[in-house]
Structure 1
Amino acid sequence: MEFSDQPPQNPAVPRDAATVILLRDTEQGLEVFLQRRVAAMAFAAGMTVFPGGGVDHRDADASVSWAGPSPSAWAGWFGGTESVARALVCAAVRETFEESGVLLAGTEEGLVGDTSPFTGAREALVTRELSLAAFLAGAGLTLRADLLRPWAHWVTPVQEKRRYDTRFFAAVLPPGQDADGKTTEAESSGWQRPKDALADAEAGRSTLMPPTWHTLSELAEFGTAEEALAAERTVETIIPRLIREGDKIRVIMEAE
């Protein structure tokens, strides 16, 4: 493929995006939910990834019923404006529901358990016939920002034509829910221990992008989801740098 070590004169502007690292505890240890993207995708085709996607302009709707850390708190953790932070959290909740069926929301009585009553709304969110704010309001639900933790901030290398400014969140699978992976964007989905997912990549059975590989390596150090979410983290912006070494391209991870 064509490749230059030198950044392009006019690199693509990264699009804001949110990725959610879904965790659960099992008798075999901590597991994470992963999806292998279909080969026809314009970005990260065939890659094994966490659920997530780009921010929709309607994700910044301030009318969203909200519980947990405020948008200003998220702006402090991730950087940027309060409006962008609100949109990122909403995108994280929306994309997680669209791609895995896991809904990080609740009512005064507690967290959502069975999500099957919202199947139609999930489909309408995917087609953009429905916004997250309208869905939550119509269902009498409140977004639960307290179920999310800030994890990382990655920006696609400047050499790429399609770039994303992605904030990574971590969340534990809510009781009574399961991740089904019923999305046209993935050819397969499932739960794996981080070390097993890394072993698959090392053996050539799957392909991971640097942020996914790095995150799985971090998660492999934790025994439980509680330990992972309780870990102290400083979110730094990482923009990988691509350099050519012979006939190979090496990725160098650098924090701003």
Structure 2
Amino acid sequence: MTTKVDPPIRQAATMILLRRNARETSVLMGMRGAKAAFMPSKYVFPGGAVDPEDADATLLRPLTDIHQRRLRAEPRPDEPANPHAIAAAALRELVEETGLVIGAPSPTPTQWPGYAEKALAADASTLRYVFRAITPPGRPRRFDAHFFIADAAQLLGNPDEFGDACDELSHLHWVPLTEARNLNLPFITEVVLAEIAEVAGSVPHHQDLPDPDTVPFFDNRGTAPRFSQIA
């Protein structure tokens, strides 16, 4: 009898874009393909695994210190978190999967499609680190996933224009937070939605998104799940 071995845990980054006005707050979501190996046919936020090249990506400004410190908390000995690479992966996945850009003109642009040809550098300074979750054992893929929120007001260009998106996510659209949990969602996405509704609801729409008091962490690296808060 062959013993099934779990795949290695990879660092991953997810971008949660919030579009806020006096009437409501909406979140950008898309649906994964029915044949996807991970979370098929589920509505998710843009995101994906951290690539080795992300460690060297040009960022106009880095994450603020509090988020860098929290990303380094509770490290996995086999792969400690690299805040620069994780933030870069979140911004890269955003432009790849949606065509949307957070950045500014720069003489040293970020070498990604959507940035390089427009002489733009990606900007991580307005990202807020809000959630961490490690995929439980027994799944076809496992990730140490780091979730960020950003305000759609930081986007360059039209937030409804997805013409440059790849085909990894379909049905990209802005969903009111009050309706998002009615979609076909992975469990962890439901949990994250509840968390970001609390963060976004803590300030008026015309104010900047706040840094959360703590970052919830669903730790499934071992046989027994553990929940903690990263201060």
Distance change (3 Å), C-alpha of 1:183 and 1:29: same
Question: Which letter maps to 1:188?
Answer: H
1:215 paired to 2:167: no
Where 2:209 maps in the other structure, the secondary structure is helix
- Is residue 195 of structure 2 the alignment partner of residue 237 of structure 1? no
User: Which of 55, 58, 61 is the equivalent residue of 2:53?
Assistant: 58
Which position in structure 2 is the counterpart of 1:162? Answer: 141
The CA RMSD over aligned residues, in Å, is: 3.3
Bigger CA radius of gyration: 1
Alignment of 1:106-121 (within 5 A): 106-107=104-105
Change (3 A) 1:134 1:60: same
- Counterpart check, 1:15 vs 2:7: no
**1:141 aligned partner:** 120
Residues 12 and 50 of structure 2 are in contact (CA less than 8 Å); yes or no, is this contact kept in structure 1? yes
Distance 1:60 1:161, change over 3 A: same
Partner Cα separation in structure 2 for residue 144 and residue 15 of structure 1: 24
Secondary structure, aligned partner of 1:220 = helix
| Aligned mates of 2:92, 2:140 — CA distance in 1 | 26
Checking the alignment, whether the CA contact within 8 Å between 1:31 and 1:193 is kept in structure 2 is yes
SS in structure 2 at match of 1:98: helix
Compared with structure 1, are the counterparts of its residues 180 and 49 closer, same or farther at alpha carbon in structure 2 (3 Å cutoff)? farther
State TM-score, norm by structure 1.
0.70
Task: State the 1:12 CA deviation.
Answer: 2.2
1:141–1:166 distance in 2 versus 1, CA, 3 Å: same
The aligned runs of 1:187-198 (5 Å cut-off) are 187-198=170-181
SS of the residue 1:178 aligns to: coil
Q: Distance in 2 between matches of 1:51 and 1:164?
A: 15
1:255 aligns with 2:211: no
AA of the residue aligned to 1:94:
R
Query: How far did 1:193 drift?
Result: 1.4
Q: Percent identity?
A: 29
Alignment CA distance shift 1:98-1:155 (3 Å): same
Work out whether residues 23 and 225 of structure 1, in 8 Å CA contact, stay in contact via their aligned partners in 2: no
Between the aligned partners of 2:118 and 2:81, the Cα distance in structure 1 is 24
* 1:84 shift after superposition: 2.0
Distance 1:236 1:137, change over 3 A: same
1:101 aligns with 2:99: yes
CA distance in 2, matches of 1:166, 1:189: 21
Question: Cα distance, 1:235 vs. partner?
Answer: 2.1
Unpaired segments of 5 or more residues in structure 1? Answer: 1-7, 109-130, 201-205, 244-251
Distance change in 2, residues 1:172/1:210 (3 Å): same
Q: Is the 8 A contact 1:156 1:164 kept in 2?
A: yes
How far the C-alpha of 1:139 sits from its partner, in A, is 4.1
Residues 110 and 122, structure 2, Cα contact 8 Å, conserved in 1: no
| Residue aligning to 1:177 | 158
Higher helix share: 1
5+ long unaligned stretches in structure 2: none
Does the Cα contact within 8 Å between 1:104 and 1:147 map onto a contact in 2? no
- Alpha-carbon distance between aligned partners in 2 of 1:255 and 1:228, rounded to the nearest angstrom: 26
Aligned residues: 212
Q: For residues 126 and 133 of structure 2, what CA distance do their matches in structure 1 show?
A: 21
